[in-house]
Amino acid sequence: MPPSSPANSLAPAPPPNSQDSRPPMPAFKHSLMVEWGDCDALGIVFYPAYFRWMDATFHRLTKAAGFDRKTLEARDGVAGCPLVDARCSFVSPVRFYDELDILATVEKLGGSSMTLNYRFERDGKHIAEGVETHVFVRETANGLGKAPIPDDIRQALEAFMND
């Protein structure tokens, strides 16, 4: 499925670092097809694409949870959820035209932060995994400062948590 028409849904997802066990848990699913521009000269996905795909999946998950940067700012005075940590590990190469599923789960909700796990699959096979931590922030007299996660947003994000 081309990135311009992503398939987003709730789907069972395996835990990170697991290739075979697939216990049911809530996950947000974003599907895409690898484009030519995602690849290096050998036709293998160039690693920064994974970070771009995690970011896109994060924004789709937040929309599914009922919020985005504009609503956070207008309704809650939250300036956004900047990324403060990101990692990705690669298991198998991905190539032009491969179709991928990105399964995102919320690993942890802190007072103002959230950590998400991403599992990349091709044809149900584990090919990569990533982790991101975002912090809710608001403008203060001294610049950006931490903001508590609003209760209704916390509750919506809990729907995507590992059990």
The per-residue pLDDT for 123 is 96
Q: Rounded mean pLDDT of the chain?
A: 86
Residue carrying structure tokens 């771009």: 52
- Best CATH choice for the domain 25-158 from the list 3.40.50.2300, 3.30.70.260, 3.10.129.10, 3.40.50.10490: 3.10.129.10
Give the domain ranges of the chain: 25-158
Residue carrying structure tokens 């996660």: 149
| Residues 54-64 pLDDT 10s | 999 999 999 99
- Is-contact 13 105, C-beta < 8 A? yes
Question: Distance between CA atoms of 57 and 55, rounded to whole angstroms?
Answer: 5
Is the pLDDT reported for residue 101 higher than 50? yes
| Residues 18-37 pLDDT 10s | 444 444 456 899 999 999 99
State mean pLDDT over 61-75: 89
Residues 6+ positions from 13 with CB-CB distance below 8 Å: 22, 25, 26, 27, 29, 103, 105, 119
The per-residue pLDDT for 20 is 41
Question: Nearest Cα to 31, choosing from 66, 58, 2, 65?
Answer: 2
The per-residue pLDDT for 26 is 66
Question: Nearest Cα to 143, choosing from 96, 85, 82, 92?
Answer: 82
Residues 6+ positions from 56 with CB-CB distance below 8 Å: 30
| Residues 112-152 pLDDT 10s | 999 999 999 999 999 999 999 999 999 999 999 999 999 99
